[in-house]
Amino acid sequence: MKVRLIQHTPEPEKLVAAAAKLCYSPVGVEDIMEGLEQQKTDKFLGMLMDIGHESPIEHVSFTFAVEGVSRVLTHQLVRHRIGCSYSQQSQRYVKLEQFEYIIPPEIEKISQAKSLFVKAMEEDQKNYNSIVEILYKEHFDRLIAEGKSEKTSKAAAEKSSIEDARYVFPNACETKIVFTMTARALMNFFRHRCCQRAQWEIREMAEKMLVEVKTVAPTLFKNAGPSCLEGPCPEGAMSCGRITAVREKFQAMNCKN
C-alpha cells in the first residue's frame, strides 16, 4: 500500500487561524492574515481544536494518491461523501492484462487458504481474458459489417469487451485512487477509520494518511484519531477493549511529529 499526500492548501494552519480570527475579533478582510506568526497560530489553533470548533477547518483541503489497495477498501472509502472528491482508475477504460490483487493477512498466513485464494485470482484473470477475446471478435465483426473503419472498430470493440468482462473481477482487485478531503471531513474519517473495529485495510490507510497530514499541519491534527482518544469508546459492548493501548499509540504518533 502506498499513500501519498500530493497536494494541500498552502499554509493550512495559518488559513484556518485567519478564518477563525474573523469569528472572534473585529478584524477586517485587509488585515485578516496579519499578525499570525507561527507561535500565535499554534496557540490559537490548539485552542480551537481543544474546544472542538471545527467549522473553520473546512477552508483547507488535502489531496491523497493511493495505490496497492483493493476495491473492498474503495467501496468503503467512497461512503465518505461530504467534503470529499474521488477519481479512481477505471476498469471500463483500462484493460487489465494482468490484474494485481490484495491478499488479506489472515489468508496470507495460512498456506492452504492462500493457495486457494491465488488459484481463484488466476482463474479470474483467465476468464477475463477469454471473455474479452470472445466479446471483442463479436463487436469487431458487427462494427465492420456496419461500415465502420478498422481503426474505429478496434477501439470501440475493445472498450465494449472490457466494459462487460470486468464483471468477473473480484473485490480483491488492486486499484488506484486520488481523493481530496477537507480537514473537517478528514477528522470525521479518522474518528471512524482509525478505530480498531474498522476493517483492517482501510484502518491501515487511515493511519498512513494521518501520519502524512501531521507532517504539514501538526497542530490542526493533534487530536485526530479514533473517537476514544477524547472520550469513552462509542462502540459500547462492541468495544475492542484496548482503549489505553490505542491512546498510547496515537499519543506516540504526536511525539514523532
Same domain membership, residue 152 and residue 117:
yes
Which of 123, 147, 168 is the last residue before a domain boundary?
168
d(CA 249, CA 226): 11
Same domain membership, residue 246 and residue 138:
no
d(CA 16, CA 232): 28
23-66 tens-digit pLDDT: 766 666 666 676 677 877 788 788 888 877 788 899 999 999 99
Same domain membership, residue 127 and residue 230:
no
Same domain membership, residue 156 and residue 178:
no
Closest CA to 139 of 129, 124, 150, 127: 150
Same domain membership, residue 139 and residue 19:
no
Which of 123, 138, 168 is the last residue before a domain boundary?
168
190-239 tens-digit pLDDT: 999 999 999 999 999 999 999 999 999 999 998 899 999 888 888 888 89
pLDDT cut 70: percent of the chain above it: 93
Q: Supply the CATH number for residue 58's domain.
A: 3.30.1360.170
Same domain membership, residue 181 and residue 135:
no
Crossing angle (nearest 10°) for helices 111-145 and 150-165: 150
User: Is the pLDDT at 21 greater than 80, yes or no?
Assistant: no
In a domain, 96, yes or no: no
Same domain membership, residue 86 and residue 23:
yes
Strand-strand pairing, 61-70 and 2-8 = antiparallel
Answer yes or no: 197 catalytic. Answer: no
Same domain membership, residue 120 and residue 42:
no
Residue ranges making up the domain that contains 251:
2-90+174-256
Angle at 121 between CA 64 and CA 80, to 5 degrees: 30
Same domain membership, residue 186 and residue 150:
no
How many domains are contained in the chain? 2
Same domain membership, residue 235 and residue 218:
yes
In a domain, 98, yes or no: no
Which of 168, 193, 210 is the last residue before a domain boundary?
168
Task: Say which of 166, 184, 191, 193 is annotated catalytic.
Answer: 193
Same domain membership, residue 153 and residue 28:
no
By the 8 A CB rule, do 19 and 189 touch?
no
pTM over 0.85: yes
In a domain, 222, yes or no: yes
By the 8 A CB rule, do 53 and 189 touch?
no
